[in-house]
Structure 1
Amino acid sequence: MPKFSDRVERISISGIREVFEAAGEDAINLGLGQPDFPTPDHAREAAVEAIRAGETDAYTGNKGILPLREAIAAKHERDQGIDIDPDDVIATAGGSEALHIALEAHADPGDEVIIPDPGFVSYDALTKLTGAEPVPVPLRDDLTLDPADVEEAITDDTAAFVVNSPGNPTGAVSPPEDIREFARIAREHDILCVSDEVYEYTVFDGEHRSPAEFDDGGNTVIVNSSSKLYSMTGWRLGWVTGTSERVERMLRVHQYVQACASAPAQYAAEAALTGDQSIVAEMTESFERRRDLLVSGLEAVGIHVPTPRGAFYAMPEVPEGFVDECIDRGVVIVPGEAFGEAGEGYARISYATDEEELREAIAIMQDAYEAVTAQA
């Protein structure tokens, strides 16, 4: 019998992917968090031009090309007022790798990492791959993470905690006072705050704020990505930034697991960041319309939905059997327990699909709801 790593044996295939792979070809897929907008033309053209010019025939530097890192630093200065040195930015293979190297560089076996519950599936798995122990903290009724609960969960073994606003799978947006508190907690307890900000542009109500805005101790690492910001999921281009010391340690991991991010994707992301930003507003306006359509449709059926304030997910409370009934009827949604124990009794629904298909899905979900409630 082959022997496998204990750390790998502690994790399993993502519940999101399991549902996605099992779906039929004709199913309406509300399971994946993938914008249905095309990547901006100027970003695609930048990649093509780079390929034709031979700019992609060799490795880039480990951190990525300087123009991209300058564009990322400028973006944070423009949007958040955060002064970042381009040398303190690493271009990564999507936000997933950014999360991986952030946790790998800061957590040891026996350490603890506090994560939201329900929370993005990678937080639990990537923590376990470091050998550390995830410590889930249940969310409030409004599906935001309570800073007081995070602080209460801190022990002598705590290495880091994860903040995600706007949130996946919840669509919740933390208020500025909570974000400020997260920065204080990281500073006073001298632990790392990993701020996952990949949905920062998709905010309908409230505002996106980063703990880094309030962090004068260098205890925040920002994880971000072009995937959701510019509908570039397939390009696999993200980034991570922090203090020089933290970046140097993350770079040690990155150089061995990845060497460098895809060169064509780096040129595309630079163009997306520095070019016409109108797609951002267009996407956000469209997602807000879809949110309203989904929430009103489900509420009319009798399904309670905490109104998402950002991202493009809703997390309604659903009756037992509802998720399976939806999938059997051709609408793919993800059971809440895929995102943590506290997600039981909920489902994540992505509304990153066109309105006509969304209306069809709502009608099918109504039939599914009536079927499972009639059996109860």
Structure 2
Amino acid sequence: MTAFSERVEAISISGIREVFEAAGEDAINLGIGQPDFPTPEHARQAAIDAIEAGDADGYTSNFGTQSLREAIADKHARDDDLDLAPNQIIATAGGSEALHLALEAHVDQGEEVLIPDPGFVSYDALTKLAGGTPVPLPLRDDLTLDPATVEAAITEDTAAFVVNSPANPTGAVQSVADMREFARIADEHDVLLISDEVYERIVFEGEHRSPMEFAESDNVVIVNAASKAYSMTGWRLGWVAGSERRIERMLRVHQYVQACASAPAQYAAEAALSGPQDRVEEMVAAFEERRDVLLDGLTDMGLDVPTPRGAFYAMPAVPEGWVDAVIERDVVVVPGRAFGEHGEGYARISYAASLDEIETALEAMRSATRAVQ
């Protein structure tokens, strides 16, 4: 019998799927990580126009279209004060592929990658698929990653560390001072900083600043996507940005696993980035309103929840049995352990749902809380 690779045997199907399967068909889904808004109409129309004109029929450059990469570079100049050239950017099949490229190109067998815990589920799995060893780092009480914790964990085997702000699953936003420190650590210890900035536009308090802005070396790579800011999760369009030498190595992987990102999605993302931004602002305002309703409800039932300052997740500390009790009441939430060992005793709640759904879900959570206390 043909054996499976040790890399694949070391990972498993995400535990989040088990939660979805345990809930009823009519359950309120507060477990899914995607906006509940439509893709902006001008982005949709750009893809339709490209298809009808025949512009999306063939491969694009492995890098992605020149015009999309120029739009991404303009976005980073506008939002992040970064001076990136189009040849420092690869359009990818979502932020997930961008993360995969960064790890595959920079991590050798057995090398360590420091990841936040609790953190996005792909950090652990993609590190293992790259042959690396994930090293989980506990978070502060406010669920941010402490630069001192990162620096103390660096060894001669450390290849990279991951910073995610605003963060999934916590909604935490790192301070500007933290981002400066992360950049310093990457410079002084000569390790790669993979900055996951997929939620950068969804900030309620504080501000997003990319650590690339503060780095003196080329030891920062940015992972980003149109998925969350423009409600384009299904389009699968992301990008990775870095120095030319790092992009060239990542392109070696990308050209064989993907060739190029979907052409229609590239045209849609270009329009999303270059066109009106009012829909993004409206979506962020709606998420903030929903956050406040959810936080008030969770606090009123006695749960301790750090205030999420971005993204669209809250991560309260919950009593044992709480998640199961909520799911039994047809509301999907995700147990914190799905995001790492330090997530035990927490739950991730997505407020990418209507206010009516959130209010109904809170009633179920109140009932569940009374049942397990």
Please confirm whether the aligned pair reaches a TM-score higher than 0.5, indicating the same fold: yes
AA aligned to 1:46 is: A
Counterparts of 2:187 and 2:347, CA distance in 1 = 35
Following superposition of structure 1 onto structure 2, how do residues 79-228 of structure 1 map, counting pairs within 5 Å? 79-228=79-228
Counterparts of 1:20 and 1:212, CA distance in 2 = 37
Runs of 4+ in 1 over 6 A off after TM superposition: none
Q: Does 1:356 align with 2:337?
A: no
Q: SS at the partner of 2:128?
A: helix
Aligned to 2:333: 333
AA aligned to 1:187 is: D
Following superposition of structure 1 onto structure 2, how do residues 24-39 of structure 1 map, counting pairs within 5 Å? 24-39=24-39
Counterparts of 2:159 and 2:7, CA distance in 1 = 18
Q: TM-score, normalised by structure 2?
A: 0.99
How many residues align? The count is 373
Aligned to 1:290: 290
Q: TM-score, normalised by structure 1?
A: 0.98
Aligned to 1:9: 9
Structure 1 residue 56, shift from structure 2 partner: 1.2
Structure 1 residue 138, shift from structure 2 partner: 0.1
Structure 1 residue 14, shift from structure 2 partner: 1.1
Q: SS at the partner of 1:366?
A: helix
Structure 1 residue 17, shift from structure 2 partner: 2.6
Structure 1 residue 102, shift from structure 2 partner: 0.4
Aligned to 1:69: 69
Q: SS at the partner of 1:227?
A: coil
**Structure 1 portions without partners, runs of 5+:** none
Aligned to 1:262: 262
Counterparts of 1:180 and 1:115, CA distance in 2 = 18
**Structure 2 portions without partners, runs of 5+:** none
Counterparts of 1:308 and 1:88, CA distance in 2 = 32
What is the aligned-residue identity percentage?
Answer: 71
Aligned to 2:253: 253
Counterparts of 1:117 and 1:141, CA distance in 2 = 12
Render the CA deviation track for 1:342-376: whole Å, top value 9, x for unaligned. 00000000000110011000111110111111xxx
Counterparts of 2:22 and 2:235, CA distance in 1 = 24
Counterparts of 1:264 and 1:18, CA distance in 2 = 33
Counterparts of 2:3 and 2:29, CA distance in 1 = 37
Structure 1 residue 21, shift from structure 2 partner: 3.8
AA aligned to 2:5 is: S
Structure 1 residue 18, shift from structure 2 partner: 2.6
Is the Cα contact below 8 Å between 2:56 and 2:263 reproduced in 1? yes
Render the CA deviation track for 1:11-47: whole Å, top value 9, x for unaligned. 0111223322443220100001110110000000000
Structure 1 residue 280, shift from structure 2 partner: 1.3
Aligned to 1:368: 368
